[in-house]
Structure 1
């Protein structure tokens, strides 16, 4: 399979501007014939404490992204705010090639004003069994137990590593590597821009491909591992 990881620039609270960027980056990535296109955490609304108004757009966002997936015949992974009863979750979806939502993950690792998830689910695709976790979930002990129990073949990690903390450094990447090794599955991570970045780890935690800034990263995954990584430091 071929995976395109898109470190998208996100304007907090500006859905239409984010949608234009999302759609543009998606169309650019399709030129490389990916099977999966992966975007960051709540990439179409951003999030500023404690403004949950972006959750009101959940239905419209799912409809628009589903239409793109169906028209292009690809899987799309992305993060968004999800309203449910009296709760708001930081969620991520896997949209199938037919536009249906085939997998939803609700983030475990969130402050008290969010409702939080309590399980890791998987979805079967023609490329193997997929799972999603979100950002800080990567470092959650319960997540690791769930992943080992469910045994996905690969896992996607939409992220928003805040620019307030600077850019991801060698120590951060090493920590990601250690967690990927603990999970024991191929791990695809994509961050919002700024600061951006995308990383792909093999099941033994080895970093096999990465990109900086908002450059899209494309990797091909073969039966014997991840091979032929390619990247663009600029947008296509």
Structure 2
């Protein structure tokens, strides 16, 4: 389906699952919405931490339609999460009941954008094959503080066949606005992950450690982790794995 068709399904709550594998070659983004008084600190946080938070677009206070999609950010993602005072409050299918005129929305690049390129390069995406949400983990990798926002990086994991590691690195590196190259490979305990079968977000993925290596990319769920530190009265994000699909084709696919 085209992005508009998928967003129609989300808006009408006909599909509430992950967007991984949907609308191949179109840019997908994470979403963070905050009251205006917190927007500058968060903007600075993204600028200082471009690997987990590559900014794609910022909507001014009260705006709901981004330039890169004929979409409404209040209704056109399959799932959202609401945090209140730094604590997870609820998961919802739209934001119509909680929307405020002073909300500023940030769209942040997502690694789902380059998954099609990895598959085209012969690299299996096991979470897609196993019909799971990509596993995501909190790490001990520090972030640079900006105002109220600080914390540790969240990463997504894909098990890459050992003989395809170079290809995976080369392909993902060119997608700079979608987290780019990995931040770590192998030995998850080195970045503070004790058990790959117990992700903080998403689902565990089965793979053979004898033939594949766990590879970790910076993840746009990182702001949700930072929200636990900043404690704004309200902060809205996409549910992990449930992105905004834009109308913009990623130029990296023209290569």
TM-score range, shorter chain: under 0.3
Q: Highest relative contact order (Cα 8 Å, sep 6+), 1 or 2?
A: 2
TM score, norm. by length of structure 2: 0.24
